[in-house]
Amino acid sequence: MRIKSILCNCLYRLSQARIFKGLCLLCHQPTDADLICSWCAEELPLLDHYCYLCGTPLAGHSSICGVCIGSPPIWDRLHILADYEFPLQGLIHSLKYQRKTLAAHLLGKMLADMYEHNVEDLQRPEVILPVPLHWRRQWKRGFNQCQELARPITQRLGIPCRADILKRVRHTPVQAGLSKSERHSNLLHAFRISPHAFKHVILLDDVVTTGTTVSTLVQLLKASGCERVDVWAICRTQLRGE
């Protein structure tokens, strides 16, 4: 009788932990919250006040950094959660390489929440365009992580996602380690854009690294009639380190 009661108690605790509460995606402890426990949520190193063009943290009331005043990027706004470091780096890695699409639910939802709470922007974008993968890479991975990130944003903000506008038609080698001009020529002709009538779009990437890929896509979007392109990403690395 005692063994049965202990077993029932264990099963109950297990079910509470794994089914009814769920495990925090970061610390893997049972939590009542959605996907991430309140302790981990409070510890996230989210950017608070940053240059709205390049993501550099800013002090004071300015909204744009000195570098961007002198030499602004081709996009009109950058909306990001954090620098590319622990623990979001691990979540993005688990999404891309371990197919943990739950991480995309969390990250996309956080990006949408941040936009809703922090961005005083009366002009809501019309559509989300995920950065495309070449079909071969998408087939190998099983999904495009940017499309997965778009889903919770669409749910939260009601902005539709169109994955058919931008296509990657050439499989390009990994960009890391190449010079800026090498990266640009590498990407030239790698993308195709379908006819569309959107004027204000979100270009959604998981991590903005050197900015070359998004710059190329923003260039294409502006040439196709977009008046404003906002780049949204979970993290950024050193955008100006080119």
Task: Write out the residues near Zn ion by the rule CB under 5 A.
Answer: 24, 26-27, 37, 40, 51, 53-54, 56, 65, 68
Q: How far is the CB of 217 from Zn ion (least distance, A)?
A: 19
CA nearest to 221, candidates 104, 146, 139, 126:
126
Distance CA 242, CA 239 (A): 7
CA nearest to 208, candidates 231, 188, 180:
231
Q: How far is the CB of 190 from Zn ion (least distance, A)?
A: 26
Q: How far is the CB of 118 from Zn ion (least distance, A)?
A: 17
Q: Residue 199 in contact with residue 225, Cβ under 8 Å?
A: yes
Q: Which is nearer to Zn ion, 30 or 96 (CB)?
A: 30
Q: Which is nearer to Zn ion, 133 or 214 (CB)?
A: 214
Q: How many other CB atoms sit within 10 Å of the CB of residue 13?
A: 11
Angle between helices 88-97 and 102-118 (to 10 degrees): 140
Q: Residue 137 in contact with residue 170, Cβ under 8 Å?
A: no
Phi, psi (deg, nearest 5) at residue 102: -60, -30
**What residues have CB less than 8 Å from 113, skipping those under 6 apart?**
156
Hey, what are 40's tokens?
Answer: 């981990």
Q: Which is nearer to Zn ion, 3 or 59 (CB)?
A: 59
Q: How far is the CB of 11 from Zn ion (least distance, A)?
A: 24
Q: How many other CB atoms sit within 10 Å of the CB of residue 60?
A: 6
Q: How far is the CB of 175 from Zn ion (least distance, A)?
A: 22
Q: Which is nearer to Zn ion, 24 or 95 (CB)?
A: 24
The secondary element (H helix, E strand) that includes residue 219 is: helix 212-223
Q: Which is nearer to Zn ion, 4 or 61 (CB)?
A: 61
Q: How far is the CB of 238 from Zn ion (least distance, A)?
A: 12
Rounded to a whole number, what is the distance in angstroms from the first to the last CA of the chain?
69
Hey, what are 30's tokens?
Answer: 């049972």
Q: How far is the CB of 76 from Zn ion (least distance, A)?
A: 13
Q: Which is nearer to Zn ion, 22 or 134 (CB)?
A: 22
Q: Which is nearer to Zn ion, 150 or 214 (CB)?
A: 214
Q: Residue 99 in contact with residue 139, Cβ under 8 Å?
A: no
